[in-house]
Amino acid sequence: MSKFTLAVVAGASAAVGAATTAAIYGLGGSRRQTPETQSVTTATRTGPLPPIQQRDGPHTPGPIIPPVDPSGVFQYGFPGPVNDLHSAVSLTSAFDRAKRNPHWVAEHITPASLLLRNGDRRHSYFAEDPAIPEKFRAKLTDYARSGYDRGHQVPAADAKWSQEAMDSTFWLSNMCPQVGEGFNRDYWAHFEDFCRRLTSFYPSVRIVTGPLYLPKREADGKWRVSYEVIGHPPNVAVPTHFYKIIFAEDGKTGGNVSLGAFVLPNAVIHNDKPLKDFEVPVEAVERASGLEFAGLLPPARRRRLCDEINCSVIVKEYAERQRTMMTPPPAKPGQAGTGLAQR
Amino acid sequence: MSKFTLAVVAGASAAVGAATTAAIYGLGGSRRQTPETQSVTTATRTGPLPPIQQRDGPHTPGPIIPPVDPSGVFQYGFPGPVNDLHSAVSLTSAFDRAKRNPHWVAEHITPASLLLRNGDRRHSYFAEDPAIPEKFRAKLTDYARSGYDRGHQVPAADAKWSQEAMDSTFWLSNMCPQVGEGFNRDYWAHFEDFCRRLTSFYPSVRIVTGPLYLPKREADGKWRVSYEVIGHPPNVAVPTHFYKIIFAEDGKTGGNVSLGAFVLPNAVIHNDKPLKDFEVPVEAVERASGLEFAGLLPPARRRRLCDEINCSVIVKEYAERQRTMMTPPPAKPGQAGTGLAQR
């Protein structure tokens, strides 16, 4: 069954009855009868499977008509998960209803978009996202006195081009609990600044940001995932790490794309730590998150970001950064002061 | 944007280019402009938001045309998550690519389906599921020497009506790591037996089964989720709990449905423990899993399962259970020996 068909089922079954679902779904057919998967099936079992007729017992000669309808439960509602794929002017996101954090938030910045200054973060307010059902929503009260920042995934500073654009970065569906001092207000902010400075060398930069919940090897040799959940009752998961996948485009149709993937721990990171220490293969983020980021990008168009530019942060102290929040964006290529040495 | 549209986007964007995606997606429009969500928005912020024209800065008089295209990243592939919704003759399932366990597996049993005995588990083999991309698949080697059973979510014993039906319960996409002795081979098996015995009173029983990863309050008062990940490298999450949502149907079109929801820890459970101790509201499973199970079932049609029948397990020792595996299914209503006293 194709992804398209599955997606239609997923959408349709939430709204219509079991009869339609069954009709679309083609109940009774096995999904593993395509030549491709059949060969894999055979490979993982001990020898080929006999045709179904030979397996019929004495009670039912001839092919068996399934006596049950497992997908019929959709008549009571499609279980999901629903990933709340949403778009606003400044970001597109998918939401994890079990952890009340986004799965990923995608943004797009250009030299021109960073030059516009029509939005001011002093006019924006953190807000619960009414597009997420109440039962699965992150709440303002979950973060209150939790000890964690409401950490933007798409930074407000990337969406100054209109107040609406900036406002839409303040929904809690664009937030995760982040360690404040030493991370969100420091190294992570320097990393976000690095991403903006990329527009000095690339006319178009796309960034996908999101949380990870990574296992750690313990003293007994076993791997465990362990993370706090904030709120009373506990509601929002505190990620162990955050990733950014960066697509720096050369601006040509079908042109080259310089890829960079970074994974940072949700913890105090010393400013001296080189950004390159956090560089990982895109596939590492994919395995950890269950997501896929560049499956349709042909290898011939791929470049490695950190081969082309100097992947390092510039440390600006928090107070200074706040003061310069509304100063012009980074200089254009060829101008001094971008902080990104081209190799 | 309706779920249907989102689902189409999710499916389509994996296969087609950015142009189509952008066309379907209606880029630039904000999702929160419907009257319903707008009112919620206003309620969660401090006063109504002024119209966007009044917010324009001096640089751009008039409405702002978005200078960016956040969903344009879909040209490199849709990130997902893809939930691998699949159907086989004996089950329908959705898969969690981050944890390599199912989100849920749905089945359907009837008195007639349990009477058929054309499948034999001695002819079935545990197998990796070729329908899940290799990168996200649970592997046989992950379970090897892990100390955990390959725990069926839809039990093999519910799918004896054909060998194909039974075989399709042996894909690892129908498994989670389960504590063996004291749980999978004992209390959990008694619980599965309880579900089968429901067909003595209800002509049609639907069961949705899946894993949970629940937080626990620690000594410092904080809530933490903590679970092992098995495999080398670590690959498959070990759930802390398992749920079953039971829909016992009266067999009439639009008839009554008796609902039962149970959450059991993935741990040794003493046989004396009453099953009713594990009964929870359906909504508790929904909040914990991020899923929804009965949104389309009108309250007037709902009954509470444990109000109608005696929700308790019958303890059969493992050896005896293995011996009686192929004996006839539970007796019909009115006959003795079902072990379910009708109230």
DSSP string, B1-47: --HHHHHHHHHHHHHS-HHHHHHHHTTT--GGGSHHHHHHHHHHSSS
Q: What is the mean pLDDT of residues B224-246?
A: 98
Question: From the CB of residue A304, how many other CB atoms can be counted at a distance below 10 Å?
Answer: 11
Q: Which residue of B has its CA nearest to A108?
A: B70
Residue B61 has pLDDT above 70, yes or no: no
For residue B272, give how far its alpha carbon lies from the nearest alpha carbon of chain A (Å): 30
Given this model, what pLDDT does residue A321 score? 62
Categorize the per-residue pLDDT at A17 as very low, low, confident or very high, splitting at 50, 70 and 90.
very low
Question: Which is it for the CA torsion A135, A140, A145, A151, positive or negative?
Answer: positive
* Chosen from B24, B32, B33, B68 to mutate, greatest number of chain A CBs within 10 A: B68
| Residue B151 vs residue B18, higher pLDDT | B151
Token pair 């690959």 is found at: B235
The answer for B 179-198 residues in CB contact with A (under 8 A) is none
Q: How close is the nearest chain B Cα to the Cα of A2, in Å?
A: 9
* Beta strands B175-178; B149-152: pairing state: antiparallel
Name the 3-class secondary structure at B342: strand
Which of A24-38, A211-225, B105-119 is least confident?
A24-38
Is B70 in Cβ contact with A91 (below 8 Å)?
yes
Q: Which of A166, A157, A153, A150 is nearest to A88 (CA)?
A: A166
Segment A212-238 mean pLDDT = 97
Q: What value, to the nearest 5°, has the Cα angle with vertex B128 and ends B124 and B134? A: 165
pLDDT at position A294 is 96
Q: What is the pLDDT of residue B56?
A: 36
Partner A contacted by B121 (CB < 8 A): no
For the stretch B317-321, contacts whose Cβ atoms lie closer than 8 Å and that sit 24 or more positions apart, written own/partner, are B318/B185, B318/B186, B318/B189, B321/B189, B321/B193
Q: Is B123 a catalytic residue?
A: no
Instruction: Sketch the domain layout of chain B as residue ranges.
Output: 3-76, 86-323
Instruction: Tell me if chain A has a CB within 8 Å of the CB of B32.
Output: yes
User: How far does the CA of residue B313 sit from the closest CA of chain A (Å)?
Assistant: 24
pLDDT at A27: 33
Judge whether A23 is closer than 8 Å to chain B, CB to CB: no
Residue range B168-187: average pLDDT? Answer: 98
Q: Determine the CATH number of domain A86-323.
A: 3.40.570.10
A253 has a chain B CB within 8 A of its CB: no
Interface pTM (ipTM) of the complex? 0.81
Contact with chain B for residue A75, Cβ under 8 A: yes
Average pLDDT value over all residues in chain A = 82
Q: Using the beta-carbon criterion (under 8 Å), do B227 and A224 form an inter-chain contact?
A: yes
Q: Report pLDDT for A52.
A: 30
| C-alpha span between A64 and B153 (Å, rounded) | 23
B224 contacts A226? CB cut-off 8 A: yes
Q: For residue A341, what pLDDT is reported?
A: 54
- Structure token pair of residue B116: 């058929």
Chain A residues with beta carbon closer than 8 angstroms to that of B228: 222-224
Distance from CA of B185 to the nearest CA of A (A): 24
Question: What confidence score (pLDDT) does residue A324 get?
Answer: 57
How far is the C-alpha of A108 from the C-alpha of A158, rounded, in Å? 9
- Smallest CA–CA distance from A128 into chain B, residue: B44
Query: What DSSP assignment string belongs to A39-87?
Result: HHHHHHSSSPPPPHHHH--TTS-SSPPPS--GGGGGGG---------EE
Nearest CA in chain A to B111: A67
As a whole number of angstroms, the distance between CA A25 and CA A36 comes to 21
Residue A326, chain B, CB below 8 Å: the answer is: no
- Give the Cβ contact number of residue B341 at 10 Å: 8
Residue A287, chain B, CB below 8 Å: the answer is yes
Confidence of residue B174 (pLDDT cuts 50, 70, 90): very high
**pLDDT of A170:** 98
Q: Could you tell me if A293 lies within 8 Å of chain B, comparing CB atoms?
A: yes
What's the confidence (pLDDT) of residue A322? 61
What value does the mean pLDDT take over residues A192-219? 98
Nearest Cβ partner for A293 among B66, B70, B77: B77
Q: Hey, are the CB atoms on B88 and A162 less than 8 Å from each other?
A: no
Instruction: Using the predicted structure, report yes or no on whether residue B259 has a pLDDT greater than 80.
Output: yes
Query: Are the Cβ atoms of A206 and B73 closer than 8 angstroms?
Result: yes
Q: What is the pLDDT of residue A32?
A: 45
Asked if the Cβ–Cβ distance from A83 to B81 is below 8 Å, we say yes
Question: Could you tell me what percent of chain A has a pLDDT over 90?
Answer: 73
Say what the alpha-carbon torsion angle A172, A178, A183, A188 is, to the nearest 10 degrees: -40
Q: A163-167, A217-221, A338-342, B200-204: lowest mean pLDDT where?
A: A338-342
Q: What is the share, in percent, of chain B residues with pLDDT greater than 90?
A: 73
What's the pLDDT band for B325 if we cut at 50, 70, 90?
low
pLDDT in tens, A125-168: 999 999 999 999 999 999 999 999 999 999 999 999 999 999 99
Contact B182/B268 with Cβ under 8 angstroms? Answer: yes
Taking contacts as CB-CB distances below 8 angstroms, the residues of chain B near A31 are 86-88, 131
Size of interface A-B (CB pairs under 8 A): 368
Contact in structure between A121 and A166 (CB atoms under 8 Å): yes
**Confidence at A64, pLDDT banded by 50, 70, 90:** confident
pLDDT score, position A186: 97
CB environment B296-309: b (16+ within 10 A), e (fewer): bbeeebeeebbebb
Given pLDDT bands bounded at 50, 70 and 90, which one contains residue A172? very high
Strands (DSSP E) along chain B, which ranges?
86-87, 92-96, 101-109, 149-152, 175-178, 204-212, 215-217, 223-230, 236-237, 241-249, 257-265, 302-304
| Identity of the amino acid at B329 | P
Determine whether the interchain pair B128/A44 forms a contact, defined as Cβ–Cβ distance below 8 Å: yes
- Any A CB within 8 A of B250 CB: no
Only one residue has tokens 């943004």, namely A107
- At residue A63, the pLDDT reads 65
Nearest CA in chain B to A44: B127
Mean of the per-residue pLDDT values for chain B?
A: 82
Q: Which two tokens stand for residue A156?
A: 């407000």
The alpha-carbon gap from B22 to the nearest alpha carbon of chain A, in Å, equals 11
Mean pLDDT lowest among A318-322, A327-331, B101-105: A327-331
Q: Decide if A148 touches B, using CB distance below 8 A.
A: no
In this structure, the strands spanning B257-265 and B302-304 are parallel
Classify burial at A278, counting beta carbons within 10 Å of its beta carbon; exposed 0-12, middle 13-18, buried 19 or more.
buried
pLDDT for residue B321: 62
Express each pLDDT in B184-223 by its tens digit: 999 999 999 999 999 999 999 999 999 999 999 999 999 9
Nearest to B117 by CA among A56, A52, A51: A56
Closest CB to B226: pick one of A2, A73, A226: A226
Percent of chain A with pLDDT over 70: 74
- How far off is chain A from B132, nearest CA to CA, in Å? 10
Which of B69, B86, B247 minimises the CB distance to A108?
Answer: B69
Q: How far apart are CA B307 and CA B317, in angstroms?
A: 28
- Residue A38 above 50 pLDDT? no
- The answer to whether the CB atoms of B224 and A228 lie below 8 A apart is yes
- In this predicted structure, the answer to whether residue B106 has a pLDDT above a threshold of 90 is yes
**Conformational region of residue A62, where left means phi above 0, alpha means psi within -120 to 50, and beta covers everything else:** left
Residue A257 forms contact with B (CB below 8 Å): yes
User: What local confidence, expressed as pLDDT, does residue B316 receive?
Assistant: 78
Dihedral, CA atoms, B300, B305, B308, B314, nearest 10 degrees? Answer: 170
B311-339: average pLDDT: 59
Nearest CA in chain B to A46: B125
What amino acid positions of A are annotated as catalytic residues?
152
Specify whether the backbone of A337 is left (phi greater than 0), alpha (psi in -120 to 50) or beta: left
Asked if B24 is an interface residue toward chain A (Cβ–Cβ < 8 A), one would say no
Q: How far is A247 from chain B (nearest CA, A)?
A: 8
Q: Would you call B31 and A291 a contact, using CB atoms and an 8 Å cutoff?
A: no
Cβ pair B70, A107 in contact under 8 A = yes
Non-local CB neighbours of A57 within 8 Å, separated by 6+ positions: B116, B117, B118
Q: Which of B36-45, B161-170, B204-213 has the lowest mean pLDDT?
A: B36-45
Neighbours of B289 (CB within 10 A): 25
Judged by CB atoms closer than 8 Å, whether chains meet at B290 and A10 is answered as: no
User: Catalytic residue among B152, B190, B241, B270, which?
Assistant: B152
Are B161 and A67 a contacting pair at CB < 8 A? yes
